[in-house]
Chains A and B, each alone.
Chain A
Amino acid sequence: MADLRSNFVGIRSPNPFWLASAPPTDKAYNVERAFKAGWGGVVWKTLGSEGPPVVNVNGPRYGAIWGADRRLLGLNNIELITDRDLQTNLREMKQVKMNWPDRALVASIMVPCVEEEWKAILPLVEETGADGIELNFGCPHGMSERGMGAAVGQVPEYIEMVVRWCKQYTRMPVITKLTPNITDIRKPARAAKAGGTDAVSLINTINSITSVNLDTFSPEPSIDGKGSHGGYCGPAVKPIALNMVAEIARDAETYGLPISGIGGVTTWRDAAEFMALGAGNVQVCTAAMTYGFKIVQEMIAGLENWMDEKGHRSLSDIVGRATPNVTDWQYLNLNYVAKAHIDQELCIKCGRCHIACEDTSHQAITSMVDGVRHFEVMEDECVGCNLCVNVCPVEGCITMQPLHAGEIDERTGQPVSPVYANWTTHPNNPMARTAAE
């Protein structure tokens, strides 16, 4: 039986599934329910400085986009950090940690970019018995306009500075949460590392407007006819998050820095993918906000089952296993040739592969053969682009099949070379120069 126990920068939890800092972790009531459902840990909803709490809008806080059957694909929010009194949060955190000593409880913190502010709050948090802190450098709305959240996360120097303060004033592990609203995610990660962070977590939410109300011409969510960009999350952001996790995992300067993966984790599969790309654990929010806390049971059972099937005994067997396979485009093997293949038994003849290929790709799929509706790949036209696989509604019906070395690629008429060769040495590459003799 696979062992799902997780030890992330010294923070132990019975499984790698944490709830991210967000509405689901705003108070003891929710967190207790989450732990009962089986969540391994929580990052408590972001705490602010002592004093009057922030206020939220009193209209809609969330916007969304949907797929077929109104399945939630992306969610955005304009909610701020906790709008509850600091002492109330601290008291509840302490009680919850006492009640659930085996679960991870991490405090998310966001205070102004002033040393005294951080110095003041850290002992208060430490006193709760929390296992660690997460620095919220990601929140893209509201707080950033006050010089916090993403306003810090977008300036590597600030990140390094604040992380340094935190490492100085607390013994708790420090996780630095990064905003994706930057051009190169490696820069803030490097800064966090330079400041001494124990880990980074990413991604926070993405600047977004989910939709526009076509009756009132207000962006959604609409507050009295006006809208503001919000933070975007949910399944739709997963590919962006995976890439950013991989960028940090394979960057020489941050190599080995623990990563807590966040961004659209909805199933055990998503979690396994984040971990394969280098995340030590994952944090989840939108999936819980869509389906409730019970989904963690599917995640635990699914991850366990997959690890058992594959013979992975512990999380360390899978974390980072895919990282070495992430490379730059220029190193991809240009001698690798694959062709789409349509399983005629599985084909339901919707024709979407044909029209996608015909209208927008390489005219490599038939629609009619001998007067009969029939979809088949013409290998002499197929460039192996995979579009047909992606638009086919039947899983496994169209597959990409690599040609073996020596087989003739009907498109080029050339045999497939057994030799790995990439762009750096390709004759068409003007940069590929052989050294002068």
Chain B
Amino acid sequence: MATGHFKEGIAGGRLPAEAYTENFADLHPPLDHHEALVEADRCYFCYDAPCMQACPTTIDIPLFIRQISTGNAVGAAKTIFDQNILGGMCARVCPTETLCEEACVRQTAEGKPVQIGRLQRYATDVAMEEGRQFYHRPQHSGKKVAVVGAGPAGLACAHRLAMHGHDITIFEARPKAGGLNEYGIAAYKSTDDFAQAEVDYVTAIGGIEIRNGMALGRDVQLADLAGAYDAVFLGMGLGGINALRAEGEDAAGVENAVDFISILRQTSDLAALPIGRRVIVIGGGMTAIDAAIQSKLLGAEEVTICYRRGKADMNASLYEQDLAAANGVIIRHWLQPRRVISHNGKASALELEYTTMDGDRLVGTGELLTLPVDQIFKAIGQTFAADSLNGSGQAIELENGRIRVDGEGRTTMAKVWAGGDCIHGGDDLTVTSVAQGRDAAESIHHALTANGRA
């Protein structure tokens, strides 16, 4: 019987203890002072900068980089937080290669953008480590707002409302605040418990109460919130998981990638976390990549991502795909799962079918492939669990399974706004959720104060 790295089945302790620390260290170590100055000097201070336009929260990137270069990192942090109070996390998790850094003119000029994300992290780290708070609550407005979900959208909304003097109560289903920042991001992108540090930093403005273990539809009802508060902001995540639609998918060893990541993020002993010797991840998005890489980092011998379309169709950025490859993950395209083959109730192999495009339609070719496997992670997308809105079904309209909002984040239900992953039209990015939460807060403030005047 093989031991250690090559233990059969699903097992923990595949690696020497110190390997876990190394494997799950910061993906992009922070820039030190000198590195930040060198990098900041590369910025051209563009007019109407493309990076700024590419940022969903429209951070004034040239200005904050110039502030770093002139020795004013704290001022740079304020420039960032003015637009994005979760700028610290966004600096870590934003797919900058498809946002600001893709738009950077240095990318056009020489294929090497200014490292905007790392500079943003430098500035926000300086301010947060110094405990610098840039915002304070003015006189209390006397208005109360309920926010559902303490993820990026909810926190951004709550902070902006607090800035306007309102009292906010956040109802959060999970034991900790932070949403996907706490439960969903790959561990090597958010080290040292940063998600909780950021929650503390954001709520330090005051006037924000977080009630954990309070799920909408279970512990609290939307209609009640709408009655008891002056306004409600819905900032829930996606609770539903798409089914694999493969025969035998209820076998042991077939798991949701988001659950795996969530458990990984909450575990205090990574060595104890069991992982399959052979892992297959089904899907083509960021969750698939995060699950696959972390499987590898936990010591899985063989990790394969199977995606039913081609490389260009993957939601994961090229950078993320390369990161997976660099970590030894094999990405296979044009394969869809057909049948989980079990042995003693445990998944032992996955039968897949090759796919192809028939015009606009994806079809199976009939050719089959069977891969031996110990653990299968489903990362084929999540859905909004609309049943949490029960009792308000008529008042709040959905669109493609998510909440319909207008340009200001207003739902079709009076006094209720929404933002983040639960609304239609988003792009599942932390930074977009922050923008939506922030903008909804401005709309709420406007509505509560007669055109913004308290």
**Chain A residues close to B by CB (< 8 Å):** 68-70, 348-352, 354-355, 367, 373, 393-394
Contact = CB atoms under 8 A, between A and B. Distances in A.
A354 B42 CA distance: 20
B37 A350 contact: no
B37 A348 contact: no
Contacts of A394: 109
Interface in B26-64: 37-38, 41-42, 44-50
Given A348-B105, A349-B108, A394-B109, A70 B44 contact: no
A396 B49 CA distance: 22
18 contacts: A68-B42, A69-B41, A70-B38, A348-B106, A349-B46, A349-B50, A349-B108, A350-B46, A351-B46, A352-B44, A352-B45, A352-B46, A352-B47, A367-B47, A367-B48, A373-B48, A393-B44, A393-B109
Nearest to A346: B109
Given A69-B42, A348-B105, A355-B48, 12 more contacts: A68-B42, A70-B38, A348-B106, A349-B46, A349-B50, A349-B108, A350-B44, A352-B44, A352-B45, A354-B47, A367-B48, A393-B44
A394 B42 CA distance: 13
A349 B41 contact: no
Interface in B90-127: 105-106, 108-109
Which of A351, A354, A355, A367: most chain B Cβ within 10 A?
Answer: A351
A373 B103 CA distance: 12
A373 B41 contact: no
Contacts of A393: 44, 109
Contacts of B38: 69-70
Contacts of B49: 351
Which of A350, A354, A355, A393: most chain B Cβ within 10 A?
Answer: A350
Nearest to B48: A351
Contacts of A373: 48, 50
Contacts of B50: 349, 373
Interface of B: 37-38, 41-42, 44-50, 105-106, 108-109
Contacts of A350: 44, 46-47, 105
A367 B48 CA distance: 9
A348 B108 contact: yes
Given A348-B108, A349-B108, A355 B41 contact: no
Nearest to B108: A348
Which of B37, B105, B106: most chain A Cβ within 10 A?
Answer: B105
B41 A68 contact: yes
A355 B62 CA distance: 14
Contacts of B47: 350-352, 354-355, 367
A86 to B, nearest CB: 44
Contacts of B44: 350, 352, 393
Nearest to A368: B48
Contacts of A352: 44-47
Contacts of A351: 46-49
A348 B106 CA distance: 8
Contacts of A70: 37-38, 41
Contacts of A69: 38, 41-42
A425 B393 CA distance: 86
A351 B109 CA distance: 13
Contacts of B41: 68-70
Contact of A349 (B37, B42, B45, B105): B105
Contact of B109 (A68, A348, A354): A348
B35 to A, nearest CB: 12
A73 to B, nearest CB: 13
B359 to A, nearest CB: 32
B144 to A, nearest CB: 43
Contacts of B37: 70
Nearest to B69: A68
A352 B50 CA distance: 12
Nearest to A356: B47
Which of B37, B47, B106: most chain A Cβ within 10 A?
Answer: B47
Contacts of A348: 105-106, 108-109
Q: Closest 6 A-B residue pairs measured CB to CB?
A: A351-B47, A355-B47, A68-B41, A348-B105, A350-B46, A348-B109
Contacts of A355: 47-48
A393 B109 CA distance: 10
Contacts of B48: 351, 355, 367, 373
Nearest to B53: A373
A387 to B, nearest CB: 14
Nearest to A397: B109
A314 B13 CA distance: 76
B31 to A, nearest CB: 15
A69 B35 CA distance: 10
